[in-house]
Structure 1
Amino acid sequence: MDSDEIIPEPTQNEEEDLDEKYPNRPHNRAPTFPFHELYLNLFNPLSDIKKKPKGPSLARRKAGPQGKSTASLNPYELRRDIIARFISRWRKEVGDDIYPAFRLILPDKDRDRPMYGIKEKVIGKMLVKIMKINKESEDASNLLNWKLPGVSAARMAGDFAGRCYDVLSKRPMRTEPGDMSIEEVNKKLDDLSAASKEDQQTPILTEFYRRMNPDELTWLIRIILRQMKVGATERTLFNVWHPDAENLYSISSSLRRVCWELHDPNIRLEAGDRGISLMQCFQPQLAQFQMHSFEKMISRMQPTEDDPVFWIEEKMDGERMQLHMDQDESVPGGRRFCFWSRKAKEYTYLYGSGIYDEKGTLTRHLKDAFVDGVQNLILDGEMVTWDPKQDAPVPFGTLKTAALAEQRNPFSDGPRPLFRVFDILYLNGRDLTRYTLRDRRNALQKTVLPVHRRFEILEYHEATTAADVEKRLRTVVAEASEGLVLKNPRSPYRLNERHDDWMKVKPEYMTEFGESLDLVVIGGYYGSGHRGGALASFLCGLRVDDQNSSQGADPMKCWSFCKVGGGFTAADYQEIRHHTDGKWKEWDSKKPPTALIELAGGDAQYERPDMWIKPSDSVVLCVKAASVSVSDQFRMGLTLRFPRFKKLRKDKTWKTALSIQEFLDLKSNAEQEHREKEFSVDNSRKQKRVKKTGKKPLTIAGYEEKENAQYLGPSGHVFDHLNFFVMTESTMPEKKTKAELEQLVKANGGKIYQTNTAAPDTICIADRKTVKVASIQKSGQTNIVRPSWLIDCVKQNEKDAGLPDLLLAFEPRHMFFIKEDQDEDIKRNVDQFGDSYARDTSVDELEDILQQMQHGKDEVESSLDPHSVHKIEAHIQDKINSGYTAPCGWLFRGLQFLFFPTHQANGNESGESDSSGSITEDIRLTLARNTAHFAGASSVTSLNSPDVTHVIVNPEKVSSADIRSLRQSLVARSGKKVPHLVSLDWVEESWKHGTLLDEERFQVPR
């Protein structure tokens, strides 16, 4: 919107244009409210509910429409009541045009006012200048360095508006509410959005400062920054305003239309007005989260015998974009274009408004992109960055830069925008969203003429089985694409909805879920060492969803679920602090915030954090993990095994984070994925589900325990936290049935499973060879322990009553089968004559030992038994999850690396050879290899190794052709897991930050 320094009233022509576009728009009969009415009667009361959701003081201050007390209302009803009373007053005293107020109440939804182009630091700088504050003073520092804790404003670190109030309240121009009306504020904000330089913006902010008190100015700053956080969503405001308001905003993204076309709540939208419109941005359909059981995903698309087909499309790494085109003779070329992103941000300035638009990086190529007879249309697709030199897409994040470079030099051979269309939703005046995807695709094929590497129709593949998905997914890995989208060709287009008709499949490098989990931070733990003095790990929770709320639970509550302390860089910590500073509170175990956060253990408060934060004030972390495990330490009863931070989801709030029911759905789907022919990109820590029959309780399948026999013998805790799979009865030293052995384990704290892969580190027990025992022995991957070890452990702890429970080390006599690499370790748990170092010896054993002493044996070096090592590993991992820095030699423990190019004597794969045949070693690669070895990783020199987890590449030393060849080799590993392909930076940055960082940040370019 153009404006002079002082914006005049709308001209008669402007009013006529508005009347023509909105013939039924309402007109107010009185001036708008003063601006202070907004904060006194709307913003502050809504904020009070966030601070004090209930209480007699609130009830005394407020009353309902007929003077009815609001004490009995819940927070949601209170919010609706406050909004309804404000809207009712506006209609009664001002008129039916509430658009001026809604522009200030929902500034982030107002697409009619351009962005201001100013952020916190610029506003702080202008306030210092306006209030003539000494730049060296504490107040100036607090404004200019608002992210850092101040002395007097420490409580508001990270809250710029709150920091401004602290400074403004010390030197106000007025203490009473000002006299600026809502209409005046809107005009001045139009001025501010039109001003492009600081010397134009400062006088406008000066007038606000002169005519507003500190409270008004604080809310004005929030409006400018579009960060209101009043405690009420646009959905609540829309629903109070009109029952069709949310629907209209979904199809139009226009706040103006919502206010002007729905000013009468008694007049509903006509059926014809509920669909999309040309040149009106809509909210697109989204893909449902992955279920990971391809069979179930396919079944959700409701195939039939006559039509079992579903479609597979590539999931592109770009920005979702909708293109609108209409005939317009006033535009050179006769066609007018508009572009909007998924978030309703207009990008027409970047991609072009017409065929001859000099700044149209895309539209200048669309002169012959449509068949004759196409008058108007709406296309849905993805805008990606394409590198013509590599003939491949460029990773996400470079799109705007590439488009601007294309504007400056349209004939360059550098990266450029490429629009890949996958749907048509409007054609020649007809809304196509109700037609099936197959019909829409037919229309798209007959309408669009592709322009090579500028404007293309996204290819799809027809499929009927899960094997088809697996095959395409391997291609995705080979080509380093983002993933796949499965689509139901029989489905309509569902606006602003995430539905099973579209389902995304990502080649995630985790085994339990195809999706990473978006979790709410609800607590924090202080770290130690270089992480000391700051929150180094976080307690994450699952949102109590509507289903739980209907059963009496608090809808604003989260249940504790896991602790995350790995995968963060210093920049990640800083960003989380930026979004949460000033919102943390010390955990008081005597008065825990049970209304918002629920821990496990009741009064014991398991895993209670040092600090806590309201879910509504918090951030959402994207977390990935190896698997899910049972835990009584978290309210969910389940937790993540080896959770790792992936990224901060700034586009999500706690209300859109993962809920309890959504997680249970994901878990249920994940439990069905473990089949023999299952495709998994990373299978190194895989845990298979035990198939069960009958009714399932709400636990992980396979974790139920059978009570087949009563055991009346000793009980204790010697097997606490251990998992067992008992396969046969015991024959020596005493006979016990399989059921009796299971009861012996359970009575002493252990857990029983009916397979060796249902739980991590399961101990297999057998005393004779059965089919199952022979199968496990043949695999060579798992020790098989005799039942005598169980009996010895229990007996030894009976003898040592009163002492801490001690788990005996494995001895050769305890072992039915020993893994090849652990034979020597187990022998070290006895002396050269077979006498145990930790266990009392029986008379019969002593006789055997004396006989062996006569023959003599070589002395075997003693060592720590593997189960003690396992306990130490679990203890260290728990410390890492709690924010402790991993030991230097622990960082890459259990990982197997292949450094590419490999360093081999023949020089074939090692890089370059000089004239004498010696190897010119990549020094950086050598340092990374040495670092990895020091940090616990093992390395291999061939992709044939079945256990390789990471292929490390220095892209600067390897050609694009070699990388493409390497990707093909990776996916060709039939029957083997596909390792991560990462750049050398991953090793270096993980070492630098002392934690395993998410591999997706360090993908190798194509």
Structure 2
Amino acid sequence: MAEDTPMPDADAAKEQTLMYGGDDDLDSKYPNRPANLHKTLPFHTLFNELFDPLLDTVKKSRPAGPRRKVGPSGHSNLSPHEAKRNIIERYIAQWRKEVGNDFYPAMRLMIPEKDRDRAMYGLKEKAIAKILIQVTKINKDSDDAKQMVNWKLPGQLHKASASTAGDFAGRCYEVLSKRPLRSEVGNMSIAEVNNTLDRLSQVGGEKEQIKIFERFYRRMNPEEMTWLIRIILRQMKIGATEKTILDIWHPDAEALFNISSNLRRVCWELYDPEVRLDGDDTGITLMQCFQPQLAAFQPKVGSFDKIVSKLKPTPEDDSFWIEEKLDGERMQLHMLEDSSAPGGTVFGFWSRKAKDYAYLYGKHFTGDEAGALTRFIKDAFHKNIRNIILDGEMITWDMETDHIVGFGTLKTAAISEKENTTGSNTGQRPLFRVFDCLYLNDTLLTPYTLRDRRAALEGAVKGVPRRIEIHPYHEAHSPTEVEPELRRVVENASEGLVLKNPRSMYKLNERNDDWVKVKPEYMSEFGEMIDCVVIGGYFGSGHRGGAHSSFLCGLIVNKKAKEGDSDYGKCISFFKVGGGFTREDYASIRGRTEGKWKDWDQRRPPSIIELGGHAENRQHERPDQWIHPADSVVLECKAASVESTDRFRLGQTLRFPRFKALRTDKSWDQGLSIDEFWEVKNTVETEHADKEKDFKIEQSRRKKARTTKKPLVVAGNDTVSTQYAGPESKLFDGLQIYIMTDQIHPMKKSKAELEALVKAHGAKIVQRDTSEKNLVVVADKRLVKVSSLEKRGITNIVKPIWIHDCIRQNEVDHGDIPYLLPFEPNRHMFYLLEAEQLAVEANLDDNGDPYARDILDVDEMRSILAGMPKESEKSFDDQEFMAQLEDHAHTMSHLKNYMFSKMKVAFAESCDDAEWNFRASLARNYIRFAGGDVAKSEDEDGITHLVVPNPDYVPKGRLKVTGLARPVGVEWVERCWEEGTRVDEERFQWG
């Protein structure tokens, strides 16, 4: 430190030692890092002077229009964006003045989702709720405990404020504010909070987590605890993005974060706003994670012309590229030659969120750090490649079906492949599909066009089949080429396409129109399902050869026909579906139709199945095999729309059909018939016509409103005066209800009648969608204003029947305390926010029976009973159940009683050490309890671990130890049991 540099005071020096003293590499990595001269600010300054003012700015946002800047009196009429910048700039200036230039402790609490230095806490809302229940010592069956655990549920509004529904931190504040240990803000500094959060991210058990939360609870008031919970969940929503905060900190902060994903580096290298990055410092570098370019979302599935136009075609070059969108994890691969490394090469792998995956996929070609991928790709690069950075998608590939499988299997497949010491060519494995090359032999390629980068990629990477491959693309020149490609990938169980501009440069951390995602939008007019019977099958290719990979579905001609009638079981072709099936789905369909398929004879087609085409030759979409509908199964499918075609006998077919479920609860004759299809289609078209009519009426009303003055009906700002015969109850007391339309189902009631009804039960009537969280919006028709509110996606819309159900339920219960029913997805919700879908569905049991509402309608009861599954055709098979449990081992690995699953452990057969014998006896019990097997002797097959008393022990017999280089001591089993998870065996191996 220079002689003229001020020295930190004692408190600041102590804080910095606690925060950074354990990392000896910091001085070498950041030799010029700033040091604070004084102790960090109190934690409460973050929300008192930063978070709360930012949120107030959002609430007080003015409508767009002319604005005055700061006047002589100091008052301002700034835009919301300018006001936010002022708040952030003021806090940073205060920090520099009162603390120093090391802003990193505050920055990692302001944008915790970007802090890669702190490990994940492993805590979600319910886990935090259970910890707080123990910390505050409230009864787990109390209303407060239930409100925290069930924080998403909208019911019980008399016990928890409606404003906190869906806001976990807000719900915690309500509970904590009733039992605070401190009424004033605490004295924890920002450094202390960071140190304690570091420990929280490192502890493994609930007992240690509770101790840390107890410390926070003793030293923080409820508001501080609320913001702490938001920081832990990394769900700040303070009204300012990380881009804004970084830009205010330093003009080059966002650029440096994009190429490094390192918040610490941004704060320590750019602490002086006057010192700018050189041009060479703003590009990606080897072995340094960066923020990748992202694909923009499509505006609408049908507007392919508009999407393609955004890719900026020119008269000289109108081409664009079409790639299949992969269901995997975005991954960047860095490789550089290093003669000192095993195999002469070093690898780096990072996800889109900057998580380091080199431990899993490998750091070297050979040695202990060769992982699930690197040891198989020695021949993937051309010999003249010294270093390279690749951008792509890590997916799971099933070698048996020769097809991609779902993203959720990726980590399990990688761990399995990492332990594949035999080089087996079966099962599932990680496959890296590369679609871009950003750095090659010391040259940065991001300024080059995609076409040039692709040429460099193809010249540098040879690939290794089913390990690392260059992702193919289709060069197109017309928007009409998009839909056939989309159909193809959907039929092959893919989720969509990515369209790319080959003339574009690579833009870090941008989501622009140079890359656009295209997915089929599935229709909701037919509900969630179209159930049709399978009448034909098509064989696949490759590993799927010899088995059906897609199916022809048909519509039943006459459901009333009896067996023996000429048209019994007769069907006409409707659509072909091949996307959305899993291996288990194929197996289930095969098991139910085995031996019932017949080869299709083109000269003698079956009389009960009619295909599309001319009457003389109906052979369109001819299947390889057909099946009698009475021997077949019913598939539940979804689609984007219905369209006309001559390829199928109906003359109509589904656009982008996708398999959703096998309806084992339905017999073949419960599939959709021709008459039922036309009935549903006509209903959809009628509803669409009604919407158009409502739209025209609404437009007409708006025109009249411009020329006709109506009597004022608003009391105050937004409350309507409605006549009613005195209050009947306080059921809706505390709620603001916005009735948008008349009620049409199951009975008709006018908007005025509904308003009078809810006001009679204590509600406040409003005529606009306010920002209040106790607002309930009600509609039963999709008028223009309702559709507009749906598109904004800011609130749920409830059907009027919810009002009647609440009133009726309270009349049935005769309770002293009014009770609001939780929402039911189909019965109550006119429009449901996607984020609340699971919470609302949880209000029904598996059979669709609501937990909180009594079923008083006979027809509704019959409907629920009809939808219940039939009695199982076979008895419980415990062997099959255990096999299924093994298949899902990865989802249970966090359980203590499952951590030794799929392990077979042998113990030394004899030992003179009595203490070791006793410990070994306990260890055997630990193994058994945690799902493992204990071998009876050392020479059994399949032993994965051998526990020995000392390094000199010589295994007896024909011991086969797989997966370990050396036997382990009993300490390894004891440590696993103590920590509740499998720890690394290497530290406990002998030799």
Please report the TM-score for the alignment, with normalisation by the length of structure 1.
0.49
Please report the TM-score for the alignment, with normalisation by the length of structure 2.
0.50
